[in-house]
Amino acid sequence: MGPVTGKQRKKVTIATLRSLYAKNEPIAMITAHDFPSALVADNSGIDVVLVGDSLAMVALGMEDTSEVLVEEMLLHCRSVARATKAAFTVGDLPMGSYEIGPEQGLETAIRFIKQGRVQAVKLEGGREMAPTINKITSAGIPVLAHVGLTPQRQNALGGFKVQGKTAGGALHILEDAMAVQDAGAFAVVLEAVPAEIARIVTEKLSIPTIGIGAGNTCSGQVLVQVDMTGNFPPGRFLPKFVRQYGNVWSEAQQAVEAYRADVKSRAYPAPEHTYPMPQEELDMFANAVEQSPHLQRRKL
């Protein structure tokens, strides 16, 4: 897959994101899990591309995100990073790669920068992750925090449930968001929290909030690309907050079915899909075959 032609955008950096935030211009973020999905995101003017651990479920067919390994995330980060010439690229630290302590978090974050070729890392958790965020950012690696619904902890949360629906729960989310900000996170993802709570958290913070299922007052939005492009079979569960902007699955299915039918009927390949050769070479070849006993069809 070659490069996309057209005018190359300037590279989005932490400074660009700060400037968007200062201008109150929403930050557009989307996931990408491989080279083509990253190329389309980059070419569409997206500010931030996240190699989310949603990879586990939507691209690797795993049951949940807890199964995906650092090495698998790194392979996909590298593929994405080859395509994101302009978008700021963030790699998601998978479950088990940072919770043991700040040293483990920093070691994994360094691998994501050196081997994954991303510009920042994301990790899930609030105040309890502050020392880890502090350690990683002190080493010069930007951290995107993630509070509210944290899918890596779905077993403890009792599933993929909306968070912060009680006053106590909402206070907890605000305190978590403030703690990760104070620890040095450059922005924080707010997932599946009531829009009103996200609005107040956004007002109280001095770093951008990136909403997913958190209403439209956040400083930016993120969606899983596979979900919003409709690249999944009909009937699959889709979270309430997803707007489906396309139907890639149905396009792909139509194309593959048409190809299959053409193969079966020999309508494909047509003459324009074949490589011509000079007639005299073809005649010589046919003659040579005809006269060589060892080149005749054998019964197997």
Catalytic residue annotation: 191
Q: Which of residues 153-192 bind ligand KIV (CB under 6 A)?
A: 189
Stretch that binds ligand KIV, among 46-54, 93-101, 104-112, 162-170 (CB under 6 A): 46-54
| Cβ atoms of 135 and 103 closer than 8 Å | yes
- Mask for 2-31, x = binds ligand KIV (CB under 6 A): -----------------------------x
φ, ψ dihedrals at 74, nearest 5°:
-65, -40
The smaller minimum CB distance to ligand KIV, of residues 174 and 222, is found at: 222
Closest approach of Cβ 272 to ligand KIV, in Å? 42
The smaller minimum CB distance to ligand KIV, of residues 123 and 287, is found at: 123
| Cβ atoms of 189 and 176 closer than 8 Å | no
- For ligand KIV, the binding residue among 53, 97, 190, 230 (CB under 6 A) is 53
Closest approach of Cβ 114 to ligand KIV, in Å? 21
Q: Count CB-CB contacts under 10 A for residue 157.
A: 14
Angle at 163 between CA 159 and CA 169, to 5 degrees: 130
The smaller minimum CB distance to ligand KIV, of residues 35 and 241, is found at: 241
Q: Count CB-CB contacts under 10 A for residue 135.
A: 22
Tell me how many helices (H) and strands (E) the chain has. 12, 8
Residue 47, interface with ligand KIV (CB under 6 A)? no
- For ligand KIV, the binding residue among 41, 43, 48, 54 (CB under 6 A) is 54
Does residue 264 sit in helix, strand or coil? helix
CA 10 to CA 28: how far, in whole Å? Answer: 15
The smaller minimum CB distance to ligand KIV, of residues 136 and 147, is found at: 147
- Mask for 60-99, x = binds ligand KIV (CB under 6 A): --------------------------------x-------
The smaller minimum CB distance to ligand KIV, of residues 205 and 212, is found at: 212
Q: Which of residues 209-238 bind ligand KIV (CB under 6 A)?
A: 212, 222, 224
CA 198 to CA 190: how far, in whole Å? Answer: 7
CA 148 to CA 138: how far, in whole Å? Answer: 25
Size of the site for ligand KIV (CB under 6 A): 10
| Cβ atoms of 92 and 68 closer than 8 Å | no
User: Given the structure tokens 């047509």, which residue do they identify?
Assistant: 270
CA 56 to CA 73: how far, in whole Å? Answer: 9
Closest approach of Cβ 173 to ligand KIV, in Å? 15
CA 16 to CA 57: how far, in whole Å? Answer: 31
Residues that bind ligand KIV (CB under 6 A): 31, 50, 52-54, 92, 189, 212, 222, 224
